[in-house]
Amino acid sequence: MNDLFHPIMGKALKQSECSENFFLIDTLILDLIAYKNAIFTQDWFPYRGAWVHFLAHEQVKNYLEIGCYEGRSTLLAASLFRDAKLTIIDLFVDPEAEVRFLANTKHIQDRISLLRGTSQKRLAEISDKTEFFDLIYIDGNHFYRHAMMDILGSWPLLKTGGVLIIDDYNWDCDEFEDLKPKKATDQFLTAYSGAYEILFVTNQIALRKLKPEAAMFKVGLL
């Protein structure tokens, strides 16, 4: 991974510095812009400052998100990628979160395609959109089986050159080993070695897709 220059801190970024606090100023500025009038009960997106730092110059026309809850990550994406169409999948385990999501995103509803239901079903339904999305954010069910299905189901939908972000990759939680997407992510990273480069690692991991899936299979068959 290359050294990364942080414009506000004025120095190159080390992995150890990829913490929530390191991006505090980016986060504060972003919050003022993206979350005006929004109402949240939870913050499940504390590492969002890294998105400003690393992704602000990405050309994102089509954005896919699995797990929107009250819309914190959706609103950030809408703000960072002003021309993007936003495809949002959520089961809405908490029905009140859906009410808050709809209220928080009312002003951008013409940009949103909300697919209610499990990511497993919804991803299968949009699987004809091969290499369609420029950025995919996975923040749904974190259990191993679900995380694996979300990663494998999303990857073919991501354009070559696009970015996949997986939340809670480095979740510092010893108690619920099964609840971490790390195992599924690491297995994917091994199996798809050569098909991506790592853009950044905070609590999240971001991968840029380097090769179309067909090319991977071809290499495997030779």
Ligand X SMILES: C[S@@+](CC[C@H](N)C(=O)[O-])C[C@H]1O[C@@H](n2cnc3c(N)ncnc32)[C@H](O)[C@@H]1O
**Run of H or E residues at 134:** strand 133-138
User: Which tokens sit at 20?
Assistant: 């929530």
Asked whether the beta carbons of 72 and 45 are under 8 A apart, the reply is: yes
Q: Which one of residues 87, 119, 154, 204 is an interface residue with ligand X (CB under 6 A)?
A: 119
> Apex CA 144: angle with CA 123 and CA 73, to 5°?
55
Smallest distance, Å, CB 97 to ligand X? 5
Residue 92 in the binding site for ligand X (CB under 6 A): yes
Interacting positions 132-161 with ligand X (CB under 6 A): 139-141, 146
Asked if 47 is part of the footprint of ligand X (rule: CB under 6 A), the reply reads no
Give the range of 7-15, 83-91, 172-180, 206-214 binding ligand X by CB under 6 A.
83-91
Q: Does 181 bind ligand X (CB under 6 A)?
A: no
Among the listed residues 26, 31, 58, 70, the single contact to ligand X using CB under 6 A: 70
105 binds ligand X (CB under 6 A): no
The least distance separating ligand X from the CB of residue 221, rounded to whole angstroms, comes to: 33
Q: Which of 30, 68, 80, 195 binds ligand X (CB under 6 A)?
A: 68
Decide if residue 58 touches ligand X (CB under 6 A).
no
Report the alpha-carbon distance of residue 38 to residue 206 in Å, rounded.
26
CB of 1 to ligand X, least distance (A): 25
Q: Which of 13, 22, 64, 67 binds ligand X (CB under 6 A)?
A: 67
> Which residue minimizes CB distance to ligand X?
67
Alpha carbon distance 81, 78 (integer Å): 5
Nearer to ligand X, 44 or 217 (CB): 44
For residues 133 and 87, is the Cβ–Cβ distance under 8 A? Answer: yes
Closest CA to 169 of 133, 201, 134: 201
Enumerate the β-bridge partners of residue 202. Answer: none
For residue 95, the Cα-to-chain-centroid distance in whole angstroms is 22
Residues 6 or more apart whose CB falls under 8 angstroms from that of 33 comprise: 79
In 3D, which of 213, 107, 108, 101 has the Cα closest to residue 160?
Answer: 213
The answer to whether residue 104 forms part of the interface with ligand X (CB under 6 A) is: no
Q: Which residues bind ligand X (CB under 6 A)?
A: 44-45, 66-70, 72-73, 89-93, 97, 118-119, 139-141, 146
